[in-house]
Amino acid sequence: MAYQTFRQEYLQVPPVTRAYTTACVLTTAAVQLELITPFQLYFNPELIFKHFQVWRLITNYLFFGPVGFNFLFNMIFLYRYCRMLEEGSFRGRTADFVFMFLFGGLLMTIFGLFVNLVFLGQAFTIMLVYVWSRRNPYVRMNFFGLLIFQAPFLPWVLMGFSLLLGNSIIVDLLGIAVGHIYFFLEDVFPNQPGGGRLLRTPSVLKAIFDTPEDDPNYNPLPEERPGGFAWGEGQRLGG
């Protein structure tokens, strides 16, 4: 019974979120079991381009460190905001969501050539948080019961939290920068006078990922509850 319940809940998760979070968990498990080491996964341009270890372009997004608070923090945020994006503004547009992953990953990899970061998964999570927060500007967030603010401030609050913990804010700034570029090109520029859509999902992705009909039994995650930890509970203004 427990297995059937878990399987049902697992399959209820939208496909891109399910695939990415599963890959992250399995990668971390493989490292914990010493089947692989982080040295085989990290982002190293020299090994990628001179020794053709191209898998590093992907694996550096899948490892969030050993199992602990930092890993759980990142996994919860990744799962929550990735799922809410996929079930919210990308509902029925899986190909567009995959394209956002590819565009964000490519841009982040290019920026990664100029900053001293060996794993980009956390920055990618911040990118997802940023895009969600800009597309849900009227959701109120509660941070540890101490701060109440609207969703667009969430990435900056997380950056401040990282600063208080003594962590580098380069990761947060990179995620915010890439998220803003995507949001501007996708949501802002097309609506400007003389603007247009510069980001177009390739037809091959649409043919692979987009399905003609929605599943009538699909149960999306309520976007009114955007948080990962207790500080993430929120509600829409005026609700």
The full set of domains in the chain, from first to last, is 15-209 (1.20.1540.10)
pLDDT of residue 98: 96
pLDDT, tens digit, 9 for 90 and up, residues 80-104: 999 999 999 999 899 999 999 999 9
Gap between the Cα atoms of 92 and 142, Å rounded: 30
Average pLDDT over residues 165-179: 91
On the question of pLDDT at 30 being above 90, the answer is: yes
Gap between the Cα atoms of 37 and 59, Å rounded: 11
pLDDT of residue 3: 75
Average pLDDT over residues 162-189: 91
pLDDT of residue 235: 47
Q: Are strands 139-143 and 147-150 parallel, antiparallel or unpaired?
A: antiparallel
On the question of pLDDT at 221 being above 80, the answer is: no
pLDDT band at 237 (very low <50, low <70, confident <90, very high): very low
- The lowest-confidence range among 114-118, 164-168, 199-203, 233-237 is 233-237
Cβ–Cβ < 8 Å for 172, 161: no
What percentage of residues in the chain have a pLDDT greater than 70? 87
Q: What are the DSSP calls for 79-145, one per residue?
A: HHHHHHHHHTTTTT-HHHHHHHHHHHHHHHHHHHTTS--S--HHHHHHHHHHHHHHH-TTEEEEETT
Average pLDDT over residues 53-77: 91
**How far apart, in Å, are the Cα atoms of 101 and each of 12, 35, 97, 105, 205?**
21, 27, 6, 6, 12
Beta strands in the chain (DSSP E): 139-143, 147-150, 234-236
pLDDT of residue 220: 57
> Which tokens sit at 91?
């509902």
Gap between the Cα atoms of 84 and 67, Å rounded: 24
